[in-house]
Amino acid sequence: MNKIKNFINHADLRKFRFWLQLFFFVFFIYGGYLAIDLGRELPIFACGYNHEIAGTCYFMPLQHQLARPWETLFSVASIGVLTSFFVFLLWFIVFNKAWCGYACPMGTLQDWITSLRKFFGITYSTYTQPQYESLKKIKYIFLIIVIVFPLLLGLGILDGEWRGAFCDMCPGRIITPMFVGDFSQWSIDFSTKTAIFLSSFGIVFTALFFVGSFIKKRFFCFFCPMSAMHYIFSDVALLRLKKDGDKCTKCGDCYNVCDMQIKDIADDVKSTNILRDDCILCLKCVAACPEDDALHLDLVNYPIFKSTKGGFAKRMEIDRWEKKDD
């Protein structure tokens, strides 16, 4: 047992993640060819506009369901809305935000763009603290668009052209189909003014997606309403990111590697649950922490991956030293 634990704690997270991400990317984007269908309640941006998707992003059905007239929405006829919500919750609760760090095709794509940047030898950029504080609110605005706009539609306050407004704005709609050879989403819908606005927003956002994630690690995740949605339920999830503040030296090693620039991960020594709204549960911080047991990933209350001195040394390759003359 100890051997297994040791093996996991010393694991090369980078490699593990790379292969898992690759697997999920192929699985979701091309799963349809194998007739795989995980339903329409997935907590990731596996976009249904890609016809070969192996399961669909929950936001697509959600927006449609919530846009029903209020009498229908709040009647027994809409029991389906509740069931799909529970299915969504079920998916989410097991893996928590690890969906973002390991399974979301849009997340994986950003990581690949990061690798491309690294290949060119270009350093990444970061936000300053004030920028960070204000920008991080944007994802909640998007979440309002996802949830409140359809409700207003149902009330008759908004027009039908606002149906699925977020999907129209989302880069996932434009990007994911591209991987199965469908570029038709790269277009502006000129039918109405709103449509022009929403679809051009989508195009611009997509362009930003590529440019942004080339410059800034996980650029898009920072604005992702799914991430905001996750956070609402993350406290009840089974997979948990925990911290033992007594063991933490506040060295900031974890913060240094965090793609999402989460300061609390290093500076907060009081909370035991250290998952923050921007977190993508990539576990890079756990892998980069040099203190035994300071950070750990728990399944309910059982730690399955812990920070260790030995694991840190191995991953940083400082557990050995060969004299090399240059």
Partner 1 sequence: MINKTRKHKLESPKQKHNRHKATEAIMILDKMKHDFKEPPKAMKYFYDLFERVHCKNEPLHSDKVKVGTMCIQVPSEIIYALDAVPLRLCNGFYTNDEIGSDFLPSKACPLVKATIGEFVSNNFSDKPDLIVSPTTCDQKAKSGAIIEDLGFSVYDMEFPRTKESHESREYWRRSVRKFTKDLSADLGKKITKKRLKKSVMQVGYAQHLYHKLNVLRKNIKSPILGIDMFLVTNAFFFDKIDKWIEAVDVLIKECEQRVEDEYDCAHKRSPRIVYTGSPPIFPNLKIPLLIEQADAIIVADETCSSNRMFNDMVSVDEWFVNDMIDGIADRYLKGCTCPIFTKNEDRKRRIIDLVKEYKADGVVYQAFAGCQVYEMEQRSVLEAMEKEGIPIIYLESDYSPSHLGQLTTRIEAFVESLKNRKRKAK
The site for partner 1 (CB under 8 A) is made up of 118, 121, 123-124, 129, 245-247, 249-257, 263, 266-267, 269, 284, 288, 290, 309, 312-313, 316-321, 323-324, 326
Whether residue 291 contacts residue 282, with contact meaning beta carbons closer than 8 Å, is answered with no
- Binder of residue 124, out of partner 1, ligand SF4, none (CB less than 5 to 8 A by kind): partner 1
The 17-46 site mask, x for binding ligand SF4 (CB under 6 A), equals ------------------------------
Please say which residue, 168 or 259, places its beta carbon nearer to ligand SF4. 259
- Binder of residue 37, out of ligand SF4, partner 1, none (CB less than 5 to 8 A by kind): none
- Binder of residue 14, out of ligand SF4, partner 1, none (CB less than 5 to 8 A by kind): none
Contact status: 248 vs ligand SF4 (CB under 6 A):
yes
Total binding residues for ligand SF4 by CB under 6 A? Answer: 26
- Binder of residue 280, out of ligand SF4, partner 1, none (CB less than 5 to 8 A by kind): ligand SF4
Contact status: 146 vs ligand SF4 (CB under 6 A):
no
Smallest gap, in angstroms, from Cβ of residue 40 to ligand SF4? 27
Q: Which stretch binds ligand SF4 (CB under 6 A): 122-130, 159-167, 191-199, 251-259?
A: 251-259
Q: Which two tokens stand for residue 140?
A: 């909640």
Q: Which residues contact 300 (CB under 8 A, 6 or more apart)?
A: 238, 240
Q: What is the dihedral of CA 117, 119, 120, 123, to 10 degrees?
A: 50
Q: Which of 107, 222, 258, 306 binds ligand SF4 (CB under 6 A)?
A: 258
Please say which residue, 146 or 279, places its beta carbon nearer to ligand SF4. 279
CA distance linking residue 98 with residue 143, whole number of Å:
19
Q: Which stretch binds ligand SF4 (CB under 6 A): 8-16, 51-59, 231-239, 254-262?
A: 254-262
- Binder of residue 246, out of ligand SF4, partner 1, none (CB less than 5 to 8 A by kind): partner 1
Smallest gap, in angstroms, from Cβ of residue 101 to partner 1? 14
- Binder of residue 279, out of ligand SF4, partner 1, none (CB less than 5 to 8 A by kind): ligand SF4
Task: Please state the three-class secondary structure of the chain as a single string.
Answer: CHHHHHHHHCCCHHHHHHHHHHHHHHHHHHHHHHCCCCCCCECCCCCCCCCCCCCCECHHHHHHHHCCCHHHHCCHHHHHHHHHHHHHHHHHHHHCCHHHHHHCHHHHHHHHHHHHHHHCCCCCCCCCHHHHHHHCCHHHHHHHHHHHHHHHHHHCCCCHHHCCHHHHHCHHHHHHHHHHCCCCCCCCCCCCHHHHHHHHHHHHHHHHHHHHHHHCCCCCHHHCHHHHHHHHHHHHCCEEEEECHHHCCCCCHHHHHCCCCCCHHHHCCCCCECCCCCCCCCCHHHHHCCCCCCEEEEECCEEEEECCHHHHHHHCCCCCCCCCCC
- Integer CA distances (angstroms), 107 to 176, 194, 213, 282, in order: 12, 29, 10, 10
Smallest gap, in angstroms, from Cβ of residue 118 to ligand SF4? 17
Name residues contacting ligand SF4, limited to 287-326 (CB under 6 A): 289, 291, 294-295, 307
Q: Which stretch binds ligand SF4 (CB under 6 A): 46-54, 63-71, 187-195, 246-254?
A: 246-254
Residues of this chain that interact with ligand SF4 (CB under 6 A) are 241, 248-254, 258-260, 262, 265-266, 279-285, 289, 291, 294-295, 307
